[in-house]
Amino acid sequence: MKATIAVLSGDGIGPEVTAEALKILKALAERHGHDWQFPAAPVGAIAIDRTGEPLPKATLDLARGADAILFGAIGDPRFADPSHKVRPEQAILGLRRELGLYTNLRPVVTYPAIYDASPLKPELLDGVDIMVVRELTGGIYFGAKTRTADSASDLCSYTRPEIERIVHLGAKLALARRGKLTSVDKANVLDTSRLWRAIVDEVMAAHYPTVTVEHTYVDAAAMHLLRRPADFDVVITENMFGDILTDEASMLPGSLGLCPSASLGAGRLGLYEPIHGSAPDIAGRGVANPYATILSAAMLLRHSLGLETEARSIEAAVAGALGDGVRTADLRPRGAAASTVEAGNAVLARL
C-alpha cells in the first residue's frame, strides 16, 4: 500500500515521542511491503519561531495532501500568557477547522501489569475499555467571544447536523463493541445539552434500536468514571466536556502517556496524537513516555489506512512491553525507569 503520512512533531517532547512511533511504522512498512512516505513540517511554537505563524501555509498544504497525519505535541512556556495574539495552540484548532476534523476518538484501556500505576483500586480497573467520542469543532471553544476590562463571554452553540454526526459515529462504534452508548450532557442547566439529548434520543430510536442508551450529567459522569469505570462502553459528549473527562479518565490506566487519540472527519484523512501536552519540563531528557504516540500510530493504521492487522500488532506489542515491566518514569515513580528510546525499542522487539 502506498501512503503519505505527514509528520508534525511539534514542540517539547513531541519530536522525541514521534520518533519512536515512526520507528514502529517504518518497521511495519518494511515487514508488510508497504510504501509509506513520511514528509515532515513545523507546527506550533517551532513554526512561530521559523515563520511567525503556528500553522504555516506549507504545513497546512502538506496536511491537506496527506493520507494521515502523525502529530506530536504543541506548547511552549514562552507563550503561556493566553493574551498572546499568536499561540502554538492555534495550530491544532486551525488543523481541525481547515481539515474538517469534527470527531475525536479517545480510547481508555487498562493494563493489568500496571494497575499499581493507577490511583484507583485494582478491582475497579478490571475490564476497563472505554471509547470516548468527543465533538471537536463546536461548542464553547469555537463560539463567539467578547472581552472588556470587566466582563467576558464565550458562546456555546450546537446545530442538529453537528450533533447527529457524533451520535451516528458513536452508535456504530457501540454496535461493534458491547452495544452500550452513554451520552454525557448538562441538560438540567444548558439548552445546548437539551438539544443534544433530544437529538440523541431521536437518532438512536430511528436507527439503532438495539443499542442501549444511557444519559448522564457531566458531573455524574466524572464521578462514575472513578466509581464504576468498567460499566462504560462508548461515551459521546460535546467538546469541552470531552476534553475534561478524558484527562480524568487517563488516570485509569495510570498516565496521560498511555492514551492515544484520533481526530476524524467525513473522509479517511485523520490526525493522530497522544492526548498529553508538550511537557517542556522534561523535553530533551529522553524520559518521556512514547506509548500513547505509538498507540496513536495504531489508530492511524486502523482508521485512515484500513490496516487492522498492523494496528492490532502495535497494540499487542505495547501491551507486551508493559506486561514485561518496561515502564517509563511516569509509570514508575520509584526505581529505575525505561527511557523513551528503550520503551520504543521494547515495542519494536515485540512486534
Q: Which residues are the active-site residues?
A: 141, 186, 219, 243, 247
User: Taking Cα atoms as reference points, which of 343, 243, 332 lies closest to residue 294?
Assistant: 343
> What Å distances lie between residue 240 and 46, 137, 152, 236, CA to CA?
27, 10, 18, 12
HSE-up of residue 9 (Cα within 13 Å, Cβ side)? 17
Confirm if 211 and 181 have CB atoms less than 8 A apart. yes
3-state SS, residue 106: strand
* SS3 category, 108: strand
What CA–CA distance (Å, rounded) separates 109 from 208?
25
Neighbours of 188 (CB within 10 A): 9
Distances (CA, A) of 85 to 21, 48, 52, 82: 32, 12, 11, 8
H helical segments located in 228-307: 239-249, 291-303
Nearest alpha-carbon partner for 326 in 310, 341, 315: 341
Can you say whether residue 286 is alpha, beta or left, with left for phi > 0 and alpha for psi between -120 and 50 degrees? left
What CA–CA distance (Å, rounded) separates 182 from 218? 11
Report the distance separating Cα 318 and Cα 325, nearest Å: 11
CA 102, CA 116: separation in Å to the nearest integer?
35
Asked if 76 and 88 touch (Cβ cutoff 8 Å), the reply is: yes
Name the CA dihedral angle for 94, 99, 100, 101, rounded to a multiple of 10 degrees. Answer: -80
Going through the chain in order, the beta strands assigned E by DSSP cover 2-10, 35-37, 68-73, 103-109, 129-135, 145-147, 152-154, 180-185, 212-217, 234-237, 260-264, 270-274
266 phi, psi to nearest 5 deg = -75, -25
